[in-house]
Amino acid sequence: MHPILAHRGRLLPYLAACAPLIAILTALFARPGALFLGEAIALAVPLTLAYAFMGLSAWYPCRQFPLNRSRLLPLVLTHAAAAGLLSATWVGFAALLAGALGLLPVFTGLQARFGTQAIALFASGVLLYLLAAALNYVLLALEAASEAERREAELAILAREAELAVLKAQIRPHFLFNSLNSIASLAATDPPRAEQMCVRLGEFLRRSLALGEKKSISVGEEIELSRAYLAVEALRYGSRLEVEEDLDERGQRCLVPPLLLQPLVENAVRHGIATRVEGGTLRVGVACGAGRLRILIENPLDPEGPARPGGGRGLANVRQRLAARYGEDALFAAKRLADRYLVVISVPAELPA
């Protein structure tokens, strides 16, 4: 449906804007040697109103042939045909109207006098069509602009939602409840370790909450957060959890979206190390070279262990945020090998100014 007809508030201003056309058309008809002024007005008012609605049909060829994406010849031919058709219809309507008015005693002879005006009216119709087409192109451009704006706002909301989801998932209730249970256990048997665990858990929570506000953090800060998390998990899993780090100094200074590593490290523990009776070693590697930052996370797993729900969500979120930030320039690969899981990330290295 045409945007002017679709919104009630737009129709009246549109018709009001057509009012000057009545004056122009009247002046055309009332030229010396043409029609009398009364006749000119009686024809101009209904004809202008009729054209106001007929001109809206230019919307369809305009939408079909966008100015910036159409070949010239089909565009011109289509509009020329539409202008000719519309104007001919209009002149036909005017002739009928003149005939009908001519039956009234005041307008006797109008039909004959109108005959001399038909060509001028047809020419006006073609000009008015061009005006209508221009108006419709403006409306289309406005619509496209507001659509683009809406889509951009939607994308921004989606990106923000992905960030919030990762923040919410960050402090997983399971992790908290299990840690509290361990603290309760150690409180009686090993108070110094219970105290240590409270401190580490506090540190992890404080760091997690502080990250929520930032758009970028250094890989080094991200590693610190993972260490706080792993320190808590080490008390739960004891000797089952070992960690090996291979970090280069430049890589640690690179900036990344916050909580990029943390969900991957959590997955490595929950879906990897924790599925093995004997546990295993989690490897975290960070390297920077040739303008790229590379991160690697590797963990062993029990290929025959029961599947635990929820691993895909963390990976999907990291993938989504990488795409939002780096687009095509981010590489993310997660691969399950026979007895271990490997995640590799490569993004443009972004060093602080």
Q: What does the binding site for other proteins look like in residue numbers (CB under 8 A)?
A: 173-174, 177-178, 180-186, 188-189, 235-238, 270, 274-277, 302, 304-309
Please, what is the minimum distance in Å from the beta carbon of residue 232 to other proteins?
12
Taking the least distance from each CB to other proteins, the nearer of 151 and 174 is: 174
Contacts of 318 (CB under 8 A, 6+ apart): 166, 260, 263, 264, 332, 345
Q: Which is nearer to other proteins, 10 or 240 (CB)?
A: 240
| In the complex, least distance from residue 196 CB atom to other proteins, rounded to whole angstroms | 12
Q: How far is the CB of 177 from other proteins (least distance, A)?
A: 4
Strand, helix or coil for residue 65:
coil
Q: In terms of Cα–Cα distance, which of 186, 278, 284 is closest to 236?
A: 186
Report the distance separating Cα 346 and Cα 336, nearest Å. 18
What ranges make up the beta strands (E) of the chain? 217-218, 241-247, 255-256, 280-289, 292-300, 331-336, 340-348
Measured from the CB atom, the residue of 124 and 299 that comes closer to other proteins is 299
Q: At what angle do helices 8-29 and 118-170 cross, to 10 degrees?
A: 160
Cα-based distances in Å from 126 to 75, 77, 173: 16, 13, 71
| Secondary structure (3-state) at 2 | coil
**Residue 274 CB, nearest approach to other proteins (Å):** 7
- The nearer residue to other proteins, 57 or 185, going by C-beta atoms, is 185
* Closest distance to other proteins from the beta carbon of 228 (Å): 18
Distance of CA 128 to the CA centre of its chain: 38
To other proteins, the closest distance from the beta carbon of 306 in angstroms equals: 4
Residue closer to other proteins (CB basis): 64 or 181:
181
Q: How far is the CB of 343 from other proteins (least distance, A)?
A: 21
When the beta carbons of 68 and 189 are compared against other proteins, the nearer one is 189
Which tokens belong to 290? 């040739």
Cα radius of gyration (the chain):
37
When the beta carbons of 110 and 183 are compared against other proteins, the nearer one is 183
Helices (H), 32-117: 37-54, 59-64, 72-102, 110-115
